[in-house]
Structure 1
């Protein structure tokens, strides 16, 4: 262990002596950051372009984002906006670096929960009925082909029709044998 540490210290000195370059100017020449810290967070987020539909709702990550109707958003139908996914979970929408007022519509949150039924005493009967209907709707339905819907059932036999050429040949042969015998 001590041999390794001694070797490493000696190696670092030799490596720096061989490859180190002297500074052209000893001053700190980094530019100062002249943007606000909120904009710095945009560098660490996912940014995607999304199409805005006629009803001002772009989609992102299976969520519909509804833009509020105002002077900024009226002209965005049929155009693309920037959707940012921040590390803290926020999803702001921008068009030409202007933040747009919006709300997120999540289709998975449209279910009536048991807590909602117990909280609202006046609507509890109606909410219970809605929950029952939703549970009925979630039962899987048996999918039938179109022919089964119309009443077709397989019997395993071929329908009567025109005989094949082989069947006609064997029928003639049987008739000839019957005539001979």
Structure 2
């Protein structure tokens, strides 16, 4: 029964719409009506500015870290993996925003970093490198999340965490299907040249 409450709490933590709240209280805007309409860090950055984007990023990362810390307090890898899946599900389909949420990349990085800092750091480095080279946040996100199961294998993480890595990759890629369609059509937004 304890597992149930921890997993439920993790879902509710994930459902806290950090990016939406940041944009709403920082700039007085509804981020769902601007840009891509996505409730995520990139859309906040583009429409509310870099400071608001960093605040939103911190909030989304923090949700993932908090859920893992909570689960580690009450159980082992199975509970941690289940709670991580729950916080990511909450972020992607939040009860507080009519089940229309973000693409789970930032919260996913928070989760992974709290479980294995090396895996989280390498996935984040893949994201940064890809975005710098291609200037497409979506390409960096898809490549970074797709690398997670393989990185977990390389670092010999327990099977529940490997299942979590596969879960993250599948859901994040699914969430980025509209971006991939825009990439193929040549209409996907690029970030400004960084270097």
Give me the TM-score of the superposition, normalised by structure 1: 0.18
More helix per residue: 2
Greater RCO, 1 or 2 (C-alpha within 8 Å, sep 6+): 2
Which structure has the greater CA radius of gyration?
1
More strand per residue: 1
